[in-house]
Amino acid sequence: MIATVRTALRSVLQWNPLAPAPRAGEADPRRAEGGPRGGASALMTLTERVPALAAPCRMHPSVYAIEAAVIDWARRTGLEADPGVGFHRIAGRALAEFDAAAAALFAQWLTWLFHLDDEMDEGPARLEIFQGLLEGRAAHPLEAAFADLWRVTSARMSDHWRARFAANLRRHHDACRAQAANRAAGRVPTLRQYPALRRATVGPYVFDLVEPCLRVEAPAWLQGCEAWRELVDACNDVTAWCNDVASRAKERGDGHNLVVVAAAELGLAEPEAVAWVLDRIAERCQDMTRAARRLPLDELGPRAARDVSKVACAYLAAPRAHIDWLVESTRYAHR
C-alpha cells in the first residue's frame, strides 16, 4: 500500500511532456488571445525553466458547477464573486483530481480570503475585522461569511486541527498589523524579514484548509516534521512570490512586494528585480520537490499515508494552478 502511495506521489513530481492538451472549451493560458495580462506574463518563463511547472494543470470536469456553487454562496453571504476573477478556476485546477464539493469549498475560502486581503489594503482600521473573526462576531459580511465557512469546515476536523487553524489566523492578524505599521511609517521590509512576513500575510491557514476540503487530516506529529514544514513553506513562498510578480503594477507605492524589496536592497532596476525574484521562485520549486520526496510515508499506516499523499499532491499542483490563474484572471489585468 505504501509503495502504491509513493508511486502516485512520484507521478506528480515528474514532468510529463505528453500531458493532455486543455479540454475542449478550455483556453491554454500560454496562448490566450492578446497574450498573458500584466506582470503575470513574466511568470510563464518559469514553465520553461522548471520541470514541475511545465505541464498545464488539468481543469476539473465540473468547473462550471463549482463556479455556480461559489456564486450562490457569495450572494447568500453578502460577498461578490466576479466570474472574471475566477477563484473557482484556481480551485478547479489545484483540486482537479478530487470531487467537485472539495474544489467548491476551497474556492469559497479563496473568495473570502481575497476579499479580506482587499479590505486589509484599505488601511489599519480594517484590522477590526480580524478582531471580529477572533471573537466570533458576524456583523461585517466578511465575518458572517467566515462563520458560514467555519461551520461547514471545522465540523469535519479534530480539536488539534482547529487549534492549528486558529493559530495561523492569529499569525495572519499579527502580520497584517505589522504590515500596516510599516506602511504608516513608510518602511520597506528587508530581504531577511520579508519571506516570513509574506508567509503570514498570505493567509497561512489556506494550507490547513486543503485537509478538510479533501476530508482528511494529517497526523499532528507531521506538522513538526522538517520535510513537511519545508513542503508547506516552499509552496507558500512560490505562490506568494508569483502573486508579487503579477500584482506589482496593481500595487504601486506599496513596499510589501518581493520585487520592490529586492530592487531597494540590491539596487536593481525593476526588470532586473523581477528576474531575481523569478530565480528565487525556481529555487523554491526545487525545494518543494525535494521536500515531497523526503516525506516519511513509511512511518505512517496505509490510510494515513494515503491521506498525507493526497494533501501533498494538492500542494505540488498549486504553483502551476496559481500561475495559470494569475495569467487569465481579470484581477491582475494590466492597468
Please, which pLDDT band fits residue 37 given cuts at 50, 70 and 90?
Answer: very low
Highest mean predicted confidence (pLDDT) among 32-36, 136-140, 311-315? 311-315
The answer to whether position 81 is within a domain reads yes
Say yes or no to pLDDT of 24 above 80: no
Handedness of CA 242, 245, 250, 255 (dihedral sign): positive
Tell me, what DSSP letter sits at residue 25?
T
By residue range, what is the domain housing residue 128?
A: 2-8+37-217+225-332
State residue 88 phi and psi, 5-degree precision: -65, -25
The answer to whether position 159 is within a domain reads yes
3-state SS, residue 171: helix
The answer to whether position 22 is within a domain reads no
- State the amino acid at position 323 in one-letter form: I
Q: For residue 105, what is the domain's CATH number?
A: 1.10.600.10
- State the amino acid at position 179 in one-letter form: Q
CA angle 328, 199, 124 (to 5 degrees): 90
The answer to whether position 29 is within a domain reads no
Lowest mean pLDDT among 2-16, 88-102, 223-237: 2-16
Please, which pLDDT band fits residue 331 given cuts at 50, 70 and 90?
Answer: confident
In this structure, are residues 209 and 102 in contact, taking their beta carbons and an 8 Å threshold?
no
What is the pLDDT averaged over residues 67-90?
A: 92
Q: 257-304: per-residue pLDDT in tens?
A: 999 999 999 999 999 999 999 999 999 999 999 999 999 999 999 999
Of 33, 34, 31, 63, nearest to 44 by C-alpha is: 31
User: Taking the model in full, what pTM does it have?
Assistant: 0.87
Q: What is the pLDDT of residue 22?
A: 41
The answer to whether position 91 is within a domain reads yes
The answer to whether position 256 is within a domain reads yes
Q: How far apart are CA 213 and CA 106, in angstroms?
A: 6
Count: domains in the chain? 1
Q: 203-258: per-residue pLDDT in tens?
A: 999 999 999 999 999 999 999 999 999 999 999 999 999 999 998 877 767 889 99
259: which 3 cell numbers? 520585487
Averaged pLDDT of the chain: 86
